[in-house]
Amino acid sequence: MKYLFSNVLGCFIFDNQFNLIEEVKFIKTEDYFKKNKLEPELNKKYPDLVSVPPEKLSSILSFFKDSKFYSLFYQKNLELTKQKIKSSVSDDTLIIQTISNIEEVNKLGNILAKRLREWYSWYFPEFSESIGDNEKFTELIVFRTKSELLRELNLRDKESMGADLKEEDVKEIVLLGKEVLQLYQLKQKHEEYLKVLMARHCPNLLELAGVTIGAKLLEFSKGLKHLATLPASTIQLLGAEKALFRHLKIGSRSPKHGLIVNHPFIQKVRKEDKGKASRSLADKLSFCARLDFFKGEFKAPEYKKELEAKFLS
């Protein structure tokens, strides 16, 4: 009877007196990952080889108590851990990071745009009032002069309540405006990048859910692997946790949909069908996540057609 024992240093074979017979050292750290191939080979060489039963383990471990192993163990473990950390960064990580950055950039853009409006209002309050969209407002005040904008509102300069600021004062407002535009542009670029990431990682999910909702599903479920294991009913309610727990706790109405509520398909469906449609969409999204995780076919366009035929005809 012989015993086989493997650790980060190598594969070790002991006789039944626990004396070392043979050792295959892992020279490079990566060799450790070949363990599963090496062990069967050793098994062939020693037909009476068994893995160490628990009650004998302490005798084997005492062999490794020798201080000559200490620094080796430390070093190999450290390297292995580093490699594991390194390989833990996946497309999932990047997608989740990117979608949350996009949301942050968008939020900050809006904060600055609000400041910009406040500041610009000292100069030309009527214009700030006349236009609701932050991005469009910013573009106009950056690229047009006040007199052009006055003409657009059919106002004469004298009629405006805005102060007559000096050129240097206006220049500073425009600087802030340019920054706001930069932020919105960055958001757009990140969204294009996110699309590329998702096209290589989860094409089906991208096709059916769209960039933002697809990425947010990954964010909420902490990655494609987990999303693929979720039941459709959970996917349907991802992002509606608050409403769900309120339902469970105080018996308010159960939520019909989580973040998929913003999906253009759900938006188009008749109000009385929204619940059913959400359920069907979540079903198909769940299929997509599984197809993508197991590198299956590209079936999302088919699903899309099915859904539309069922609810939008």
Q: Give yes or no for residue 156 binding its own copies (CB under 8 A).
A: no
Q: Give yes or no for residue 134 binding its own copies (CB under 8 A).
A: no
- Count of residues near its own copies by CB under 8 A: 42
Q: Give yes or no for residue 130 binding its own copies (CB under 8 A).
A: no
Q: Give yes or no for residue 164 binding its own copies (CB under 8 A).
A: yes
Out of 41, 133, 169, 302, point to the residue binding its own copies (CB under 8 A).
169
Q: Give yes or no for residue 213 binding its own copies (CB under 8 A).
A: no
Q: What DSSP string runs through 146-178?
A: HHHHHHHTT--GGG--S----HHHHHHHHHHHH
Cβ(225)–Cβ(268) below 8 Å: no
Cβ-based nearer residue to its own copies, 46 or 193: 193
Q: Give residues with Cβ within 8 angstroms of 280, minimum separation 6.
A: 307, 310, 311
Region from 157-165, 201-209, 259-267, 285-293 binding its own copies, contact rule CB under 8 A: 157-165
Out of 196, 199, 248, 312, point to the residue binding its own copies (CB under 8 A).
196
Enumerate the β-bridge partners of residue 47. none
Q: How far apart are CA 277 and CA 286, in angstroms?
A: 14
Please state whether beta strands 2-7 and 20-25 pair in parallel, antiparallel, or not at all (unpaired): unpaired
Q: Give yes or no for residue 157 binding its own copies (CB under 8 A).
A: no
Region from 59-67, 192-200, 257-265, 298-306 binding its own copies, contact rule CB under 8 A: 192-200
Look up residue 38 and give its two tokens: 């090496």
Using DSSP's 3-state secondary structure scheme, residue 250 falls into helix
Q: Give yes or no for residue 165 binding its own copies (CB under 8 A).
A: yes
Site for its own copies in 104-123 (CB under 8 A): 104-105, 108, 111-112, 115, 118-119, 122
Cβ(260)–Cβ(213) below 8 Å: yes
Out of 7, 43, 77, 97, point to the residue binding its own copies (CB under 8 A).
97
| E runs forming strands in 8-150 | 10-14, 20-25, 49-51
Cβ(50)–Cβ(1) below 8 Å: yes
Region from 85-93, 203-211, 276-284, 299-307 binding its own copies, contact rule CB under 8 A: 85-93
Q: Give residues with Cβ within 8 angstroms of 258, minimum separation 6.
A: 220, 236, 237, 238, 239, 240, 241
Q: Give yes or no for residue 190 binding its own copies (CB under 8 A).
A: yes
Q: Give yes or no for residue 86 binding its own copies (CB under 8 A).
A: yes
Out of 9, 38, 174, 186, point to the residue binding its own copies (CB under 8 A).
186
Q: Give yes or no for residue 252 binding its own copies (CB under 8 A).
A: no
Q: How far apart are CA 293 and CA 229, in angstroms?
A: 10
Q: Tell me which residues touch its own copies (CB under 8 A).
A: 82, 85-89, 93-94, 97-98, 100-101, 104-105, 108, 111-112, 115, 118-119, 122, 159-165, 168-169, 172, 175-176, 179, 182-183, 186, 189-190, 193, 196-197
